Structure 1
Amino acid sequence: MISLAELSQMNIPPEVLAEVQKYATPTGIADYAALAIIAGVSATFMSRGILWDKPDPYYHLNFERPQLKNGGQAGANANKETRNIAQKLEESGKKIVAFWGSQSGTAEGFAHRLAREISVRWGQETMTADLSDYDPVTISEIPSTKMVIFIVSTYGEGDPSDNTAEFWNWITKVGHVSLSNLQYTAFGLGNSNYKFYNQVVDVIVEGLETFGAKALMPVGRANDAEGATEEDFMAWKDSLFAVFKEKLGFQEVEAKYVPTLKVEEDESLEPIDLHHGEPNNQVDSPKGAAQSSPVRTLSITTSRELFTASDRNCLHMDIDLSNQPELTYKTGDHLAVWPTNPDSEVERLLEVLGISSRRDIPLIVKAADPATKITIPTPTSSIALFRCYLEICAPVNRDNVRDLAQFAPTPEAKTYLTQLGQDKDSYAAFTNRNNLNFGRLLQMACPGQTWNIPLSYLVETLPHIRPRYYSISSSSVVSPRKPSITAIASTTPLPDNPNELVHGVTSNYLLAISQHAQSQPHPHGITYHLNGPSDALEGGKVFAHIRRSKFKLPITSKTPLVMVAAGTGLAPFRAFLSERCQVQKIGKEVGQMILFFGCRNPEEDFIYRDELEEMQKTLGDKLRLVTAFSRTEGTPRQYVQDRISELGDEVVSLIDEGASFYICGRAGMAREVEKAVGTTMRRIKGWSEDEVNNWSKAVKKKNKWQEDVWG
């Protein structure tokens, strides 16, 4: 029996305790029962947050700075680092800092390349810096004797990258700050298929100029829509170096590789001490870690082919979260898959570098420069580097072609690489005929020879493997523990050599897993180390994590929907419709929906056709499915934007009723869809161009127009 003294220590509300005291002495069975109930209620109240209503263990991630989420060695160092960039420059003796704001890693790679070249070619001590690692206001403390370079990307609707967000908020909202001592230059990465092409760099430059910063040269811009990002960057870099020489009086010196990292063998380490290829998004991508779960090994339970075409593959894969209870997803989220490189390319690079026999020797990666951050897991091995950590299948840019000449084993190879790297037209013609990755280039430049290239150069130069994101094609309401993804296997022939194919790394990795489960080889004979490091992926598993997305259904199921998709862009709408079907089955009202879907032809690549038709039966007149086929024999080509124009009255009617508008697919398609909607609004409502633009901005601000697009 619990005592009154004990009850008084239980934080029971005073009014309840007073009532208990009135009847402190039980006189019968009813009194004992009442006391038992009160004790149970009290125990339940006290156990809140311990046994029930427990807080989300990952809730704190929403409020942590990205750079404090690195973990491991990098994380430990980050916690000790100053967040004052002026102080960092002074302490490290650097004259120039190249800030980067990057979502996919391209801007980050450019910053590292530029910093290395400035250091070795111009003798100016240069460091790179993640924009999220430093307090924005501290750039005002950088003296005029130093220089700042901004290399920032724009994606989506003019959005800054995750690691640029803090600086973006500061530069756009700060009341006043003096940047009169700051001299800078800036380069932006964007895609003109998006409406707000390179908006991030333009807004940043506008803010810098407002507060008195001095631009050393006009802002540079890359346009990925034309595949010109690399050449745009190199042209801007040449202009920057002209400024170095003509305005700043820097003296150019003979370029010679000076490592910022040390990669050393240490045979005293045991295999258990090494990182064998396991990814860690808290280190490799700290800027996006706050929006993502940790990486886990997830089982692919089922896989099926969606295309009927013999020369193209599109996979539907169901993923099992049952063994990872901390992982959850919501309809519209993304699944990030971490790939490995194909065996043939791994072996090619090991062989041409002459380290095949030392592939498993432990390696330690250290910083030779205190301003350099290490993002490769260490200690590791060469086989793990080439298989899991470095993008060895990526094309080699002209800068790197030229750099490799210093390591050439013969004078002929040196001349070959120098000429190829210097001539833009020769390089373009060469890459149109040849699949030019790192290992292949070394073999072509000097067949049969071994190259003596420091591993530190490869770690510094080659892009690091990053995950590929797939829109989850299942509803978390219908299938909470088994998300699915839809992936088309990418295989692209070279422009001037159709027999030479370039295979997408992750999509073909997934295809190999699917084929292996059916005891079938990859259609192109590509093999991968499917068991993964330490056999962690044996039995059809992948390293993956969940990334939260803003691409969400409206809270109210009665809200009408307009959905536009092409190809695998249908994936999230399969999830949306599945969820609406479930909502209707439990008796809730659902809003009117129209789905525009485009593909080549209905016989080969109309994915999920049977399911869509079944959902159309379930939803009845609530769903209208409108198709557009671009390669149907005997009929004119049609695209989703054409069908939107045809059915403009219906689309505008739904928008007027409060519909949410969604687009998923390539950025070029999204741009054409927006044009078609704008033209329709002008026709029906008699609006001017300005009125359409104002409407467009308003609906996007309210999240009534959402896009999940790429390329």
Structure 2
Amino acid sequence: MASLSQLASQWNIPPELLDELSKYATPTGLADYAALAVIAGVSGAYISRGYLWDQPDPYAYLAYERPQLKNGGQAGANANKETRNIAQKLEESGKNIVVFWGSQSGTAEGFAHRLAREISVRWGQESMTADLSDYDPITITEIPNTKLAIFIVSTYGEGDPSDNTVDFWSWINKAKDVSLPSLRYAAFGLGNTNYKFYNKVVDVIVEGLDKFGAQALMPVGKANDAEGATEEDFMSWKDQLFSVFKEQLGFQEIEAKYTPSLLIQEDESLEPIDLHHGEPHGQADGKANQSSAVRTLSISNSRELFTSSDRHCLHMDLDLTNQPELTYKTGDHLAIWPGNPDSEVELLLQVLGTSERRDIPLHIKAIDSATKVTIPSPTSTNALFRYYLEICAPVNRDNVRDLAQFAPTPEAKAYLTQLGQDKDNYASFINRTHLNLGRLLQLACPGQTWSDIPLSYLTETLPHIRPRYYSISSSSVVSPRKPSITAIATTTPLPDNSSELVHGVTSNYLLAISQQAQSQPHPYGVTYHLNGPSNALEGGKVFAHIRRSKFKLPITGKTPLVMVGAGTGLAPFRAFLSERCQVQKIGKDVGQMILFFGCRNPNEDFIYQQELEEMQKVLGDKLRVVTAFSRKEGTPRKYVQDRVSEFGDDVVKLIDEGGSFYVCGRAGMAREVEKAVGETMRKVKGWSEDEVNNWSKAVKRKNKWQEDVWG
């Protein structure tokens, strides 16, 4: 420690003043020593602040950070000096038509890009696509009547808008004194009649536009995914739109030739370290306040839940230890970003004649200022086909027809042209074969390479790989740093060849990881590059992110619960019950619960059966488990909706006591469960159809009825 003379020299204190101070600086009694001790303690505490105590949270900035800066959405556009005024953007870029999209899974976005591209090449109209979250909704009022706006939006869940449609949805529902007399528009919605609010989002948007005085060019179009008709519904509506172009607007159709919107060039001067090798880029699907960033997570444990030899269901525990900024809550979803199978990547590279140049660095640039480059650049062909593009999806009829122009032989051109023009023939063909791009090209022209297909065409037309979402099957109270997921590996035999299986990309990717951990091959011989880009996933890791969900337990543990799940729909209820067990273990009361669970056979696919039995022991008479087996030998088929009807009085009793109702599984099942509950309410309470409907709307509005459904 420095002496007084040293301090005096350092601070320029005169010697005579130092002598005077020293008379008072020397302690002479117990009180002086006590005072000095207090002063030393306070000084030490102050100096050590931020080091030994009151350390700042390294992730506190996330609470104040503008998430849009990360995701290419709202503020992200501002950060890149992009205008948020769509009318201004149309004027600056010289575009006549804007195709807005609101998409949750990527289908509506893909349709928007296809439509804008076809409008340009077939009708010579300058067009662009626009993410609804990239522009301020009010600016559509400035679009002049010399231009057109087209809306392609999806509906999911209980009539919910996609994440990127939320701001526009809110504006069109709440805006007042808005006038759109100069806006000419057309609209197409994507929905599913298995859901109660079929295509609600497009209906609400159209109603709002009409209320504000906008001019509809044609009736709203709607796709119904319940019948697998989304693709053909879109193409039928597109043909009607083009008839309007020709007959009402006087547009002249021109010979359609591919015109790239992207410039993809090789650059061998780049080093591997400069490239994007396949890591997920940017923000996860949806807004940053609903989805975390994509991170590398370790799989700490994996086990199979089925005893069947030909069906596989996985339980996987993931580890958040090395990603402290990631947290989850019970009921949230975990998204897995997959890679494509080795065989499909190799086949496509081979049929395109690019195997030898797969690792050559590529620059991807937008030719048009209105085009947003969504693939990270620079990259490589190998990364494109393995991690960035959905090469395993069936080829849509538009693309089949377009591919004909690149055919290496007249016979191949004729084959694809005929297949793409005949709706019924194409539907039959794709259902029998499920051919993806590589297999289609190989079939159309065996032994030939399709070297004339521009890489830019494939990058523009193939869907981008999207994450697959899984309900988290663990409780954040019980297992805060190790969320688990439950995934069934899907394999579908082809009608014409039952030995040929179509493998679900992500579920079989997870199965391959699980088998590798046990030094076992994939049961169907499917292989993936499991070490990931630049070996980032070596040692059993995945790229993943967490998405917030509204599927939540009530705040109070005393609230009764009715839970209905089939198959892997049991996953979130495993988490719910685990949390309720923990609440009871610490001495707090929990409400009455009924779990309805359905599967095929109790001896094959009754997942988590032992765990449920253990939970019943803990919860005692607070939990009743009611099972439904659809393929149990010697017994009639039972589904969860049947069992809900059988126990209708108990269900109504818990609902009347303020209970919350939950359904997880396929949308068709959820619809049947709702019918069963409605019929029970009608019988027990003597209600009319209108009273049942009003009750249903009320409990959903209060979040007393929640669904986590798909398909």
- After superposition, the C-alpha distances for 1:591-631 in whole angstroms (9 at most, x for unaligned) are 11111100001000000000000000011011110100111
Q: Which residue of 1 aligns with 2:411?
A: 412
Q: Which residue of 2 aligns with 1:223?
A: 224
- After superposition, the C-alpha distances for 1:459-513 in whole angstroms (9 at most, x for unaligned) are 0000000110111111111111111110000111224443332110000000011
1:59 aligned residue (63, 68, 76): 63
Contact 1:432 1:496 in 2 (8 A): no
Report the CA distance between 1:327 and its aligned residue. 1.5
Contact 1:435 1:500 in 2 (8 A): no
Task: Tell me, yes or no, if structure 1 residue 516 matches structure 2 residue 516.
Answer: yes
Counterparts of 1:37-48 in structure 2 under 5 Å?
Answer: none
Contact 1:302 1:319 in 2 (8 A): yes
CA separation of 1:646 and 1:358: change in aligned 2, threshold 3 A: same
Contact 2:101 2:131 in 1 (8 A): yes
Task: Tell me, yes or no, if structure 1 residue 307 matches structure 2 residue 311.
Answer: no
Instruction: Give the match's secondary structure for 2:627.
Output: strand
CA distance in 2, matches of 1:40, 1:485: 48
Contact 1:300 1:542 in 2 (8 A): yes
Q: Which residue of 1 aligns with 2:190?
A: 189
The amino acid that maps onto 1:459 is T
Contact 2:77 2:134 in 1 (8 A): no
Counterparts of 1:162-311 in structure 2 under 5 Å?
Answer: 162-282=163-283, 285=285, 287-311=286-310
The amino acid that maps onto 1:599 is C
Instruction: Give the match's secondary structure for 1:254.
Output: coil
Q: Which residue of 2 aligns with 1:583?
A: 583
Q: Which residue of 1 aligns with 2:363?
A: 364
Larger Rg: 2
CA distance in 1, matches of 2:702, 2:630: 33
Q: Which residue of 2 aligns with 1:628?
A: 628
Moved more, 680-689 or 338-347: 680-689
Instruction: Give the match's secondary structure for 1:393.
Output: coil
CA separation of 1:548 and 1:371: change in aligned 2, threshold 3 A: same
CA distance in 2, matches of 1:704, 1:54: 37
- After superposition, the C-alpha distances for 1:556-607 in whole angstroms (9 at most, x for unaligned) are 1111111110000111111111111111111111111111100001000000
Counterparts of 1:551-700 in structure 2 under 5 Å?
Answer: 551-700=551-700
Contact 2:70 2:282 in 1 (8 A): no
The amino acid that maps onto 1:256 is K
CA distance in 1, matches of 2:287, 2:696: 28
TM-score by length of 1: 0.93
Q: Which residue of 2 aligns with 1:449?
A: 448
CA distance in 2, matches of 1:60, 1:698: 35
CA distance in 1, matches of 2:186, 2:53: 52
Report the CA distance between 1:701 and its aligned residue. 1.5
Q: Which residue of 2 aligns with 1:6?
A: none
Report the CA distance between 1:429 and its aligned residue. 1.5
CA separation of 1:694 and 1:39: change in aligned 2, threshold 3 A: farther
CA separation of 1:147 and 1:51: change in aligned 2, threshold 3 A: same
Instruction: Give the match's secondary structure for 1:564.
Output: strand
Instruction: Give the match's secondary structure for 1:289.
Output: coil
CA distance in 1, matches of 2:611, 2:174: 48
Q: Which residue of 1 aligns with 2:424?
A: 425
Instruction: Give the match's secondary structure for 2:80.
Output: helix
Counterparts of 1:26-37 in structure 2 under 5 Å?
Answer: 27=31
CA distance in 2, matches of 1:210, 1:453: 46
CA distance in 1, matches of 2:46, 2:407: 78
Instruction: Give the match's secondary structure for 2:638.
Output: coil
The amino acid that maps onto 2:583 is V
CA distance in 2, matches of 1:423, 1:573: 46
Q: Which residue of 2 aligns with 1:467?
A: 467
CA distance in 2, matches of 1:702, 1:47: 47
Q: Which residue of 2 aligns with 1:89?
A: 90
CA separation of 1:660 and 1:258: change in aligned 2, threshold 3 A: same
Report the CA distance between 1:47 and its aligned residue. 9.0
Stretches of structure 2 that go unaligned for 5 or more consecutive residues are 2-28
The amino acid that maps onto 2:236 is A
CA separation of 1:406 and 1:681: change in aligned 2, threshold 3 A: same
CA distance in 2, matches of 1:168, 1:384: 36
Instruction: Give the match's secondary structure for 1:551.
Output: coil
CA distance in 2, matches of 1:214, 1:71: 31
Report the CA distance between 1:45 and its aligned residue. 8.9
CA distance in 1, matches of 2:255, 2:79: 34
Report the CA distance between 1:29 and its aligned residue. 6.1
Q: Which residue of 1 aligns with 2:435?
A: 436
- After superposition, the C-alpha distances for 1:664-705 in whole angstroms (9 at most, x for unaligned) are 111111111111111111111111222222221221122111
The amino acid that maps onto 1:581 is C
Report the CA distance between 1:60 and its aligned residue. 3.2
Q: Which residue of 2 aligns with 1:396?
A: 395
Report the CA distance between 1:547 and its aligned residue. 1.3
Contact 1:662 1:705 in 2 (8 A): yes
Paired residues in the alignment total 682
CA RMSD of aligned residues (A): 2.1
Q: Which residue of 1 aligns with 2:157?
A: 156
Q: Provide the identity percentage.
A: 80
CA distance in 2, matches of 1:26, 1:368: 83
CA distance in 2, matches of 1:92, 1:565: 50
CA distance in 1, matches of 2:351, 2:684: 65
Contact 1:434 1:500 in 2 (8 A): no
The amino acid that maps onto 1:322 is T
Moved more, 74-83 or 291-300: 74-83
- After superposition, the C-alpha distances for 1:362-409 in whole angstroms (9 at most, x for unaligned) are 001000111000110110000000000000001100000000000001
CA distance in 2, matches of 1:109, 1:52: 44
Contact 1:261 1:368 in 2 (8 A): yes
Instruction: Give the match's secondary structure for 1:329.
Output: coil
The amino acid that maps onto 1:447 is P
Instruction: Give the match's secondary structure for 1:291.
Output: coil
CA distance in 1, matches of 2:40, 2:621: 56
Counterparts of 1:524-563 in structure 2 under 5 Å?
Answer: 524-563=524-563
Report the CA distance between 1:55 and its aligned residue. 6.8
Instruction: Give the match's secondary structure for 1:58.
Output: helix
Report the CA distance between 1:101 and its aligned residue. 0.3
CA distance in 1, matches of 2:600, 2:383: 40
CA separation of 1:36 and 1:407: change in aligned 2, threshold 3 A: same
Stretches of structure 1 that go unaligned for 5 or more consecutive residues are 2-24
- After superposition, the C-alpha distances for 1:435-482 in whole angstroms (9 at most, x for unaligned) are 310001100111111112111001000000011011111111111111
Contact 1:48 1:54 in 2 (8 A): no
Q: Which residue of 2 aligns with 1:382?
A: 381
CA separation of 1:37 and 1:586: change in aligned 2, threshold 3 A: farther
Report the CA distance between 1:289 and its aligned residue. 2.9
Contact 2:67 2:287 in 1 (8 A): no
Instruction: Give the match's secondary structure for 2:213.
Output: coil
Task: Tell me, yes or no, if structure 1 residue 120 matches structure 2 residue 87.
Answer: no
Report the CA distance between 1:39 and its aligned residue. 6.0
Contact 2:67 2:288 in 1 (8 A): no
CA separation of 1:627 and 1:360: change in aligned 2, threshold 3 A: same
